[in-house]
Structure 1
Amino acid sequence: MKNCLRLMLLIGMLLLALCSGVYAGEAPVASLEALTDVQKYNRAIHIMAMLLVGFGFLMVFVRKYGRSALTATYLLVSVSIPLYFVKESLFAPAAPATIIDTLILAEFAAASLLICAGAVLGRMKMQQYLFLGILFVPCYALNEWLVLNGGLGLISGKVVDTGGSIVIHAFGAIFGLAVAASMTTRQEYETAIESDENSDKYSLLGSMVLWVFWPSFCAALVAPADVPKTGVNVILALCGSTLATYFASVKLRGKISAADIANATLAGGVAIGSTCDLAVPGSAFMIGILAGVVSTFGFAVIQGKLTDWSKKVDTCGVLYLHGLPGLLGGVVALFVASGINVGAQLTGIMVTVVTAAVTGLVSGKVLAVMGRRVAPYVDAEEFDGEEGEEDVVMAIAAEEPIA
């Protein structure tokens, strides 16, 4: 299996090299268009900060798995962006995108992949994260084609999803949950996911980085004239979800939960995505409040009950940060966007859910063939250092490895 992985990576690099000439011959653009591309580049760098620093540190809340979480983030981003460029080169869209547009679209794919990986964080070997990326990007591109580009004629009309509530957040979350459904073992279910004061602080740092740069994520590809309005809407939605998270967390738990503050505060950015360039400030703020309440309720009430009922583990709670708020954003578009095609919007949501669930289940079965970790949620199995080594030794001694 390792040889197969190396071969697939080699083939991917060769394809990227063969296709690299597609952008080499781009004609010079007019000065105004060049300025627009420079502005897009700046937002693309903001998104890269979200991917590596934001998502990376958000996922270090697992106390003994921080080094692995950050390394997996590096690898997932590094495999998904080149793969998306290969896809664009082999299957050129009807309206060719500029190279900076393609970079941003590739970053969107990477963000969706990181969301997906959050569902199974701590329960895969490092090379399995790479293989997850190889499996995920074609599935993500397929859904993107079906929902946003009218692939196979399944959707007759435009799906409103500017900032990716549906095709980025909901797809990544449902795909990851399907993978988790295929791979979660009894030992993983019974192993507690530990956090402490320090790991929570780093997770909150990652959340703040995501919060700061989220307006650039949603405004990355909107028309220049709509960038200010989009940014304001996203900030107000994030403010709404942050305030709602605080009050809901105290109401539902009795005290503030660091997990709620690190995650549910971002739900407004997820939910406003579909209509980030269409909403007015008041509706954006209300969308954020609603998303914050839904997300916090998910973390505080639904997560424990659903885990016990299904015996499946969603490590980062992607269903409650990205899945439910993403679907909420897609549905809210029906009431916010004027002249929306209701049938197309609802069909786009359904196609995304089905595509993510089916491809995720299949991908989980494929990943399971590569074996399992001896002990979940610890660095020591693959990293130097003593932290977590006792968990690995105990798992081996008990002769209950995941494999």
Structure 2
Amino acid sequence: MKSKIKNKLVSKSIIFCLLFLFVASTTTYAVEESTAELFQYHRGQDVFFMFMLVAFLMLFIKKFEWGVCLVTLLTLSVAFPLYVIIQRNLFDFSLGIELIITGIFCAITLIIAAGVIFGHVKIWHFIPLGILFVPGYILNEWFLFSYLEGVADSGGSILVHMFAAYWGWGVILALQRRDVNQAEMNATTHSISFVWLASMLLWVLWPSFTTSLLPTDLIITGMTTTYLALMASTLTAFLVLKWIKGELDPLIYTYAILAGGVAIGSTVDLVGPGTAWLIGAAGGIISVLCFLYLDDWLANKTNLTDTMGVNNLHGIPGIFGGLMGIPFAGSVQIYAIAGGIIIPLVTGLIAGIIVKIFEKPQLLLDDAEIFDINIDLERTQQM
């Protein structure tokens, strides 16, 4: 009798222990999954914050500060929901944090592209431009990560930075609005201070962008390589500007320090610290040289203005970053880079041809185009 009772107790104890281990393991897994999603949520919010900071990065034109902010809000309000709706309803994407992050990637690509187009169109034209942009972006995303296999671009050198620059160029090539070349782009100490602030905050937040879709075990590595690349471009941009010009151009410098973040995008999860530093250093040098020499050369050849110099920070450093992925991805990376130029140029040209039917802007890079700029003066007088 005692042996039977003992056997029952032993068997029940074993069953209890097994149940406990099962529950504990599943609970731990659930907690780990929940924690990973929570951290991804916070990185996604950082990218939303970065989206808004892009506006401040472009506020150096003293008469066009409100216009830049308005376009930023309009493009987000068009691109993000349209991207989510298309992916959900046409391609059966589940509504989760990854869709939210890829949606803000789409929107941030559009606002970067807007930097090329400012002045070439009226402010409200960015609504139809946003609608036309999203299908092209989704096509590029599909080409890179579904049609092609094994592309190295976790941090968006090709997907975001290259697409933004060359979609914007496609639009202005179609529009052929040469009067922007004569538009006033006067800056002030105050307006450039906005750029300094935005650049430094973007610098701090950049790892959230490059690691937002990485597996949990690669996030710290990605953060490290991103910061090292940014530190390197910050240093080399200073040295090259000082060497060539003898002094710092604050607008070139505040943009070029971010080139390391652009260049490391394709290999953020693939290279070690030393290589990341070298990629960032080269990115800073390339960006400065593009601002100093390529920008004027392109303007003379095309007679068109890349208003914010997007090609100098995002386009060419993005191509360089994509090229750095060739040792890891092989020939597919070359196809990705080629597609990353051709697809945005073609879809941008189509968007520009469509938008060209609208009336040309009469006031170029001027808040007075759409705002009552005397409102603050009138209120001050009333007080």
TM-score normalised to structure 1 length: 0.83
Name 1:368's counterpart in structure 2: 356
- Residue 385 of structure 1 deviates from its aligned partner by 1.4
Q: Is the 8 A contact 1:165 1:329 kept in 2?
A: yes
Partner of 2:66: 67
Query: What is the CA distance between 1:97 and its match in structure 2?
Result: 5.0
Moved over 6 A (4+): none
Counterpart CA distance in 1 for 2:175 and 2:184 is: 17
Output one character per residue of 1:62-113: Cα deviation in whole Å (capped at 9) or x when no partner.
Answer: 11000000111111112111011111112336xx555110000001101111
1:309–1:386 CA distance, 2 compared to 1 (3 A): farther
Is contact 1:204–1:261 with CA below 8 Å preserved after alignment? no
Q: How does 1:379-390 map to 2 (within 5 A)?
A: 379-386=367-374
Question: Which one of 306, 310, 318 corresponds to residue 310 of structure 2?
Answer: 318
Structure index of larger Rg: 2
In structure 1, the partner of 2:378 is none
Distance 2:215 2:201 in 1: 24
Instruction: Give the letter for the 1:51 counterpart.
Output: F
Distance apart, 1:204 and its partner CA: 1.4
Any unmatched runs of 5+ in structure 2? 1-28, 376-383
State the Cα distance separating 1:300 from its structure 2 match.
Answer: 1.2
Deviation at 1:181, TM superposition (A): 1.5
| Cα contact 2:287–2:317 (8 A) shared by 1 | yes
* Structure with more of its chain in helix, by fraction: 2
2:294 is the alignment partner of 1:295: no
CA distance in 2, matches of 1:73, 1:169: 17
The residue correspondences of 1:31-46 to structure 2 (distance < 5 A) are 31-46=31-46
Give runs of aligned pairs for residues 74-85 of structure 1, distance below 5 A: 74-85=73-84
Letter in 2 for 1:78: S
Query: Where in structure 1 are there 5+ consecutive unaligned residues?
Result: 1-28, 388-403
Report the residue type matching 2:71 in the other structure: A
Looking at structure 1, the residues matched to 201 and 129 of structure 2 have their Cα atoms a distance apart, in angstroms, of 25
Alignment length (residue pairs) = 347
Q: Does 1:347 align with 2:335?
A: yes
Task: Verify the 8 A CA contact 1:69 1:122 in the aligned structure 2.
Answer: no
Are the aligned partners of 2:88 and 2:94 in contact in 1 as well (CA < 8 Å)? Answer: no
Distance 2:345 2:197 in 1: 31
Residues 12-27 of structure 1 correspond to what in structure 2 (within 5 A)? none
Retained in 2: the 8 A contact 1:233–1:276?
Answer: yes
Aligned partners of 2:260, 2:282: CA distance in 1, in Å?
A: 8
Task: Give 2:139's match in structure 1, choosing from 118, 138, 142.
Answer: 142
- Distance in 2 (alpha carbons) for counterparts of 1:181 and 1:204: 30
C-alpha distance after superposition, 1:302-331 (max 9, x if no partner):
212221221100011111100001111110
User: For residue 82 of structure 2, what is the amino acid of its counterpart?
Assistant: L
User: Residues of 1 paired with 2:119 and 2:181: CA distance?
Assistant: 12
CA contact 1:76–1:129 (8 Å) conserved in 2: yes
Amino acid at match of 2:109: S
How does 1:160-309 map onto structure 2 within 5 Å? 160-309=152-301
Give the corresponding residue for 2:97: 100
Q: For residues 300 and 386 of structure 1, do their structure 2 counterparts lie closer, same or farther at Cα, with a shift above 3 Å needed?
A: farther
| Residues 206, 261 of structure 2: 8 Å contact kept | yes
Q: Deviations over 1:177-216 (max 9, x none)?
A: 1111122423212224221211111111111121111000
Normalising by structure 2, what TM-score? 0.88
Kept after mapping to 2: 8 A contact 1:249/1:300: no
RMSD value, Cα:
1.5
Residues 207, 263 of structure 1: 8 Å contact kept: yes
Contact 1:184–1:313 under 8 Å retained in 2: no
SS of the residue 2:120 aligns to? coil
Question: 1:21 aligns to what?
Answer: none
Query: Contact 1:252/1:300 (CA < 8 Å) preserved in 2?
Result: no
Residue 138 of structure 1: how far off its partner (Å)? 0.8
Question: Which stretch of the first structure deviates more once superposed, 301-310 or 233-242?
Answer: 301-310
Asked if the contact 2:88–2:95 (Cα under 8 Å) also holds between the matched residues in 1, the reply is no
How far apart are the structure 2 equivalents of 1:371 and 1:244? 44
